Amino acid sequence: MPYKEPKIEKIYYSMKEVTQLFEVNHSTIRFWEEAFPSVKPFRNKKGNRLFTKKDIEELRLIYHLVKEKGMTLKGAKKKLKENREETVNTFEIIKRLQNIRSQVEDIKNALDE
């Protein structure tokens, strides 16, 4: 049986990695951390923030509501508080549709070549 290289997944992501992922400033992430109690990154002995996958998924949802849909922080907080499950389901559907669209575009581009 051939050796399979194990897939290594990170447990914690640094502030720099998170800001690059969302293309926002450090201050934006810190502000969202204060505004939304569901984002609680771990802090090491130096005080650096280390984000888990759960934190990143929460930030992705906040990013979608604030940056993509244009909601205010107050509105996003209210929406997550009142009907979180519906918001998460809608966000998941949008992500799936975007993936399908990019796959269709890749297929179209491959056929055009």
Instruction: Give the per-residue pLDDT at 15.
Output: 92
From the list 92, 21, 96, the residue with the least C-alpha distance to 53 is 21
- Interatomic CA distance for residues 23 and 66, integer angstroms: 14
Q: Are residues 24 and 72 in the same domain?
A: yes
In a domain, 76, yes or no: yes
Do 102 and 50 lie in a common domain?
A: no
> Which pLDDT tens digit goes with each residue over 32-80?
999 998 899 999 999 999 999 999 999 999 999 899 889 898 998 888 8
Number of domains in the chain: 2
The mean pLDDT value of the chain amounts to: 87
**What is the dihedral sign for C-alpha 60, 65, 69, 74?**
negative
Task: Write the CATH number for 46.
Answer: 1.10.1660.10
**Is the domain of 113 the same as that of 72?**
no
Instruction: Note whether 56 and 109 are same-domain residues.
Output: no
Task: Judge if 78 and 88 occupy the same domain.
Answer: no
Look at residue 61 and tell me if it is in a domain.
yes
- Within a domain: 48: yes
The whole domain housing 62 covers 8-82
The two tokens of residue 43 are 């802090």
Output the pLDDT for position 2: 64
The alpha helices in the chain, defined as continuous H runs, are 15-22, 26-35, 53-63, 73-82, 84-112
SS3 72: coil
Contact 73, 66 (CB under 8 A): yes
The CA–CA distances, whole Å, from 81 to 7, 55, 64 equal: 36, 17, 16
Distance CA(76)–CA(65), nearest Å, equals: 6
- Residue 3 within a domain: no
Token pair belonging to 41: 């990154």
| Statement to judge: residues 51 and 100 lie in one domain | no
